[in-house]
Structure 1
């Protein structure tokens, strides 16, 4: 599978905990290579949508589906943040709090999805400054923590581990 280590943590968490996705409608927001979407599909989700504003992510998702013996999963390259709040049982996103404006928009939109539909939100993040310092941090429960391999530590400014968080406003 083509992926970076930060995508792998949500993939690993969902594969280790298939009950989190089983029979649910899943949105993999900022999907990148689609690792979390693929793990959700493998875990028995009833519907999975991968979303990323980079259309190359759609090609990576298709290749990764093929490598995992899956039919290509639906992919949408439009920005859904702030717009689409349809019923998702679970939204997963990884490493999207790298910019203060994006962090604020995500926080508001995720809260609206939860308020309107009772959506569960899982966030994978290596502890970037805009994430650690953001008010959302007070509303998170750590579910799992994974050490970064040496190569990823160098690529991620010395961060040593990453975690999966459950958003609980």
Structure 2
């Protein structure tokens, strides 16, 4: 059964997402969504060497809402900074953030967080996964930014994945 459905929750999610994106419950969409949900996890299983193990789901739940709040707040902050860029141009900078997180799943989640929060961009990860190079749109204090980043995102991800 595990060979046919390597990730049943993922299969069900893909099927539901297909139906939601197409806004149709026609027989063709139901069948194609089910086929997509069945075949995609089977085809992509070799690309995922180890299954993710979430150790603290409550922390993951809280982190989800923290990131959501940060996305909203950062959108407003970046918009205001762009709006008044002539009077006070942003102080963009590259920041090297030392990492204690080394789990591949945690780093993938951290990359997604950096991507969705406006004002930050994941630029490079050291080969030994010890340092993350980030571009920050407007940086006041590098030390304070690093401490905030590690406390807000890295530490919860370490609790979840390591």
Same fold flag (TM > 0.5) = no
Look at both structures and tell me which one has the larger radius of gyration over its CA atoms: 2
* More RCO (CA 8 Å, sep 6+): 2
Q: Which has the higher helix share?
A: 2
Q: TM-score, normalised by structure 1?
A: 0.23
Q: Which has the higher strand share?
A: 1
